[in-house]
Amino acid sequence: MVIRKEKKSCGQVVEEWKEFVWNPRTHQFMGRTGTSWAFILLFYFIFYGFLTAMFTLTMWVMLQTVSDHTPKYQDRLATPGLMIRPKTENLDVIVNVSDTESWDQHVQKLNKFLEAYDDSVQAQKNDICRPGRYYEQPDNGVLNYPKRACQFNRTQLGDCSGIGDPTHYGYSTGQPCVFIKMNRVINFYAGANQSMNVTCAGKRDEDAENLGSFVMFPANGNIDLMYFPYYGKKFHVNYTQPLVAVKFLNVTPNVEVNVECRINAANIATDDERDKFAGRVAFRLRINKT
Amino acid sequence: MGLSSAKAAALLARDGPNALSPPKQTPEIVKFLKQMVGGFSILLWIGAILCWIAYGIQYSHDPSSSLDNVYLGVVLAVVVILTGMFAYYQEAKSTNIMATFSKMIPQQALVIRDAEKKTIPSEQLVVGDIVEIKGGDQIPADIRLLCSQGCKVDNSSLTGESEPQSRSCDCTHDNPLETKNIGFYSTTCLEGTATGMVINTGDRTVIGQIASLASGVGNEKTPIAIEIEHFVHIVAGVAVSLGITFFIIAVSMKYPVLDSIIFLIGIIVANVPEGLLATVTVSLSLTAKRMAKKNCLVKNLEAVETLGSTSIICSDKTGTLTQNRMTVAHLWFDNQIFMADTSEDHSNQTFDQSSGTWASLSRIITLCNRAEFKPGQESVPIMKKVVVGDASETALLKFSEVILGDVMEIRKRNRKIAEIPFNSTNKFQLSIHETDDPSDKRFLLVMKGAPERILEKCSSILINGQEQPLDDSTAEAFHTAYMELGGLGERVLGFCHLYLPADEFPETYSFDIDTMNFPTSNLCFVGLLSMIDPPRSTVPDAVTKCRSAGIKVIMVTGDHPITAKAIARSVGIISANSETVEDIAKRLNIAVEQVNKWDAKAAVVTGMELKDMNQEQLDEILANHSEIVFARTSPQQKLTIVEGCQRLGAVVAVTGDGVNDSPALKKADIGIAMGIAGSDAAKNAADMVLLDDNFASIVTGVEEGRLIFDNLKKTIAYTLTKNIAELCPFLIYITVGLPLPIGTITILFIDLGTDIIPSVALAYEKAESDIMNRKPRHKKKDRLVNTPLVFYSYLHIGLMQSLGAFVVYFTVYAQEGFRPSSLTGLRVEWENDNVNDLEDDYGQEWTRYQRQYLEWTGYTVFFVAIMVQQIADLIIRKTRRNSIFQQGLFRNKVIWVGIASQIIIALILSYGLGSVTALNFTMLRPQYWFVAVPYAVLIWVYDEVRKLLIRLYPGSWWDKNMYY
């Protein structure tokens, strides 16, 4: 039988490669002559230039369909989510009372976060609105008329306002404040014209026990209707998001407590199985005391 | 007499049963496992394992992490196993067709043992057994004849000779294949009886040796297998190098290793066309089915394409090119040669039948003939009736039946009084009849035989019905005619008669054939009749087609060179105006040695000449003559010829029916066995079986094979295109940090969902031009997947698809609140489960799940965008050179079934399964289905421009770089 497959020696393979990279007989570099390379590069230059132009054009046309003012669709944001401050890596607030450093970062973050809520800033930028009703600002014929925001003063947060507070929002004494905020959604009339509030509880029975008592600011965790609707960051420049502060007074130390806060509002469902943050927020709280 | 049972049993135990050992089978499990690791499977296994490793890493960090990666790994593994099982099933199915062929009917043998006659299964024969055979039996082993009465055997399955061979008990030749006293296993005894001693059994018989020669020939990889391997290498090479490059990039961009592994999985899955190999198998089997309808049964799926790339066909003569039955071809009487109709049904006998000589000749043909139709065949057409008798008598019987009508009735009217049957010493056959003329009381003596013998016995000749003395000029005319007919490779018979004078031979005269009390000389010569195994009527046309398709047809036969050459000429294997060396010598009247060998286009090479040649000489002949006939070749030589052709780089198809052909069939790139006349050994060794034994069917096979090659190219180009659109998202995701545009599972839904039926549909595409007018493809140059194909699919159409899909992706995100500018670099925040207030461009805040859902919507639109553009891709892939409008947009209905399937699957995935979170599909707004349409149109227009330029400037730079 004739063996048809000939194994190439290593040297031959190298030779073949060399010849492929530069073939001195045909003056071919990588299988193409200079002219051929010039042609192909020119072709791809023009072709890709054309494609880039085409892409840019279609993107531009597409962006014309999007307004600066409001998003075209908001179907995903029917239920606003809830979040906590201080913002931590894994949604857990861990306080080692004796270890200043462990909570100092939280305090720094909160200080910064609450700066915008200083009464002076609010008084300067925002209006005093009538509580208990939506602060609607129709365009009244003027396209995208800039919108005013309602005041939310830091002092409304009472013991959690941190103003002249030697306990640093309670972190140094093991009675930390956690701030709850609701996600902004444009043109969303939260509460459907009825009052709403935030409530917190331990997730399970033992959590409830360990959680102990807490106080909320504003009282009852109320969120006023006047902070709604939100008109978007471009036209609602100084919008101040309402907050609810929760001060945990006697959490059982050295135990991880699962806390869940939810908003009680007529038009916000808090039982979405897939979205664990729809109208609620769960976080872990741990006070370490020696 | 004979062996004792005990001795026979001992010998049986020593030598084993008298049967051919079946060829070795690969165990089923090995076949199955091969499918599991072949092709892309390895890459996908790596993907699956990487998934599990990724989960392992995740688990070690956080035991509660999601099982997504495990699922993905399982899905990949299932994909591999399913496609493997599918391929295995396909292969098993085509093997099963053949299993039915290999079933042999158990043979019985009449053997003398313990001094009594016994019938035993021929498997139990041993060396030394005495067996008796009679006409119609298959010879049960190699036997040496001890005595024989008029025994004739058909050795055609062994040597390819179509004429019956007489057998006697004298050793006439040293070569066992040539000597007359050996009967071979599996050949048939046609007539007579014989007793013989078994000299070889089972695998040691001549046929057994040939069969083992066949199994010793390794199977070459089919051209399409090589092409697919080449293609898998390209794609796997791209996948692995891109994967590794981006793994390194990802790691050096400070991505965690876990993320980098997940990127790697994504890149592999996007790059591997999971469904393609299954699609190729389906396309091939569709073609195989189509070919089976045209009487080409394909055993090995890949052989479908091999036939298309065939550049040399080595064809057997008997049965393939010819009808495998002796037929009257020419007649000579009244000093004139007449031609008889040799077509399959004989219907058109146009020669002059008015002459008195013809009346006499036809009477001799009818009467001096022992052949008879088997009874009970009244409704069968004459040419298909079964006849008892040898080949030439059968030919004469059918010839006269067609022309004269009921022969048996004529014979009845002319009662036979006495008869001397043909034997090899007399070389004539004689019979004496009463005539059917009641007024004529003379007896008629009719005789036929070897022409020169008949002429010797004659003193007069019948011309135009008148008896004339036989002079030198008429004898000369006879010789010219005899030589001419003989030169056509035909077997010539002479016919003469004599009316016995009534006074010498009264009605009561008793004829004695032993003493020959009647005259056998001074007869009246009537005419000559020549017979040949004529070519099938469809063959010349098929040979012409092969030639215009650039396929060289070589005849390889065991028959005589003269016959072989005559047939070769009549079917066009040697074309009308080409000459052999011998022809030139004859024309120029010089010695054969003086002729310049290369002036001759044609060559006739005999086995004897071939034996003295070395490899180079054979290669020279094969390379330099375009029309070659090999005559008198042995099975071994057939193999040598095939190998010679393969050395020239040709893809060789070999046809054959006998056991002697099986080694060559196996060695050939594609072996084609005859379905009707073919022996089981031939069918087993072949890749394809011609159900109607017709050479012309091969041509249809070639056409289908070429078409499927073109169409597979289209299928692969179609399938490869979207790889880029699946891959780009990952590359952009890694480098730019966009939220992931398309998920791994979604990619699988394209590869194994929407794309499957359309890519199979391309197998139904009609040829763009006459594919039978171009050269067979060059094995090394015309690749299935060539550079232009890869570049055009990846860097042109694929890129356009990616752009189109990205436009839709950006549209969805922008309309929901995330503009393209803010998406870049968003990946880390976007995927952080603890960021539930991610701000968009309008100041709104998103929870993780809300973003996740948007991401899935992104997957879905990306999927839909690819699907929409794949419709355009499918349409443009219908042709490679012609405009779609030349080809006809609606001619291939299956394409539209494919397009409908794409749309329906996408609709079901989006609207039906949009709520099943594991699949990551969401319900889309209707308008998103149309965003990519401009790009689909662009793809179509661009490809039309490409084809237009190719047609306008053939051979140009554009043609070379853009035609795949």
Model pLDDT for residues B698-746, shown as the tens digit of each residue: 888 899 989 999 999 999 999 999 999 999 998 899 889 999 999 888 9
Contacts of B268 (CB under 8 A, 6+ apart): B43, B44, B46, B47, B50, B239, B243
How distant is the Cα of A142 from the closest Cα of chain B, in angstroms?
20
User: Using a CB-CB distance cutoff of 8 angstroms, which residues of chain A are in contact with residue B925?
Assistant: 73
Q: Could you tell me if A59 lies within 8 Å of chain B, comparing CB atoms? A: yes
Rounded CA-CA distance B293/B139 in Å is 35
Distance CA A198, CA A221 (A): 5
Distances (CA, A) of B613 to B591, B593, B641: 21, 16, 11
B388 contacts chain A (CB < 8 A): no
Q: How far is B726 from chain A (nearest CA, A)?
A: 18
Q: Who's near B99: CB < 8 A, 6+ residues apart?
A: none
Please list, in sequence order, all residues whose beta carbon lies within 8 angstroms of the beta carbon of residue A59, skipping any fewer than 6 positions away.
B807, B810, B820
Residue type, B208: G
Quickly count: other Cβ atoms within 10 Å of residue B824's Cβ.
12
Interface touch B840/A71, C-beta < 8 Å: yes
Mean pLDDT of chain B: 86
CA distance A69 to chain B (A): 7
pLDDT in tens, B12-39: 888 888 877 766 667 778 888 888 887 7
pLDDT at residue B898 in the model: 94
Asked if ipTM goes beyond 0.85, one says yes
A50 shares contact with chain B (CB less than 8 Å): no
Strand ranges in B800-937 using DSSP code E only, listed in sequence order: 838-839, 845-846
Nearest-angstrom CA–CA distance, B824 and B803: 16
| A269 CB within 8 Å of a chain B CB | no
Quickly list DSSP for B344-358: TT-----S---SHHH
Q: Which of residues 136-175 of A touch B (CB under 8 A)?
A: none
- Count how many pairs of residues, chain A against chain B, have C-beta atoms within 8 Å: 126
Mean pLDDT, residues B777-795: 89
Per-residue pLDDT of B821-839, as tens digits, reads 999 999 989 988 889 999 9
Give the span between the Cα atoms of A61 and B833, in whole angstroms.
34
Q: Using CA atoms, how far apart are residues B20 and B18, in angstroms rounded to an integer?
A: 7
- CB contact (8 A) between residue A62 and residue B836: no
Out of A43, A76, A183, the one facing B837 most closely (by C-beta) is A183
Among residues 766-805 of chain B, which lie with CB inside 8 Å of chain A?
A: 795-796, 799-800, 803
Q: Inform me whether the C-beta atom of residue A184 falls under 8 Å from chain B C-beta atoms.
A: yes
Mean pLDDT on B396-403: 86
Spatial strand order in the sheet of A22-23 = A22-23, A28-29, A32-33
Q: How many CA atoms lie within 13 A of B290 on its CB side?
A: 18
**Residue range B210-231: average pLDDT?**
74
Alpha-carbon gap: A60 to the closest alpha carbon of chain B (Å): 10
Nearest to A59 among B810, B836, B843 (CB): B810
pLDDT of residue B94: 62
Which DSSP category does B796 fall into?
A: I
Contact A276 B843 (CB under 8 A): no
Identify the band that residue B691 occupies on the pLDDT scale cut at 50, 70 and 90.
Answer: confident
In this prediction, residue B216 has a pLDDT band, given cuts at 50, 70 and 90, of low
SS3 of chain B: helix, strand, coil, percent, to 5: 50, 15, 35
b (16+ CB within 10 A) / e for A102-115: ebeebbeebeebbe
Specify whether the CB–CB gap between B625 and B602 falls below 8 A: yes
- Average pLDDT in the B344-359 region? 77
Residue of B316, B341, B657, B661 with catalytic role: B316
Per residue in A163-200, pLDDT (tens digit) is 888 888 989 888 999 999 999 999 999 988 888 999 99
Cα B407 to Cα B340, B359, B368, B422: the distances in Å are 18, 14, 11, 20
Partners of A109 in the beta sheet?
none
Does the annotation count B316 as an active-site position? yes
User: B550: buried, middle or exposed (CB in 10 Å: 19+, 13-18, 0-12)?
Assistant: middle
Per-residue pLDDT of chain A (290 residues; tens, 9 = 90+): 333 445 567 778 888 888 778 878 877 777 778 888 888 999 999 999 999 999 999 999 999 989 888 899 998 888 999 999 888 888 888 888 888 888 888 899 999 999 999 999 999 999 899 998 899 888 877 777 888 899 999 999 988 988 888 888 989 888 999 999 999 999 999 988 888 999 999 988 889 889 989 999 898 999 999 999 999 888 888 899 999 999 999 899 999 999 999 999 999 988 888 888 999 999 999 998 87
- The answer, for A28 touching chain B at a CB cutoff of 8 Å, is no
Q: What is the reported pLDDT for A1? A: 34
Position A5 scores a pLDDT of: 46
Which residue intervals of B384-471 are DSSP H helices?
391-404, 407-413, 451-456
Chain B CB contacts of A44 below 8 Å? 795
A183 close to B (CB below 8 A): yes
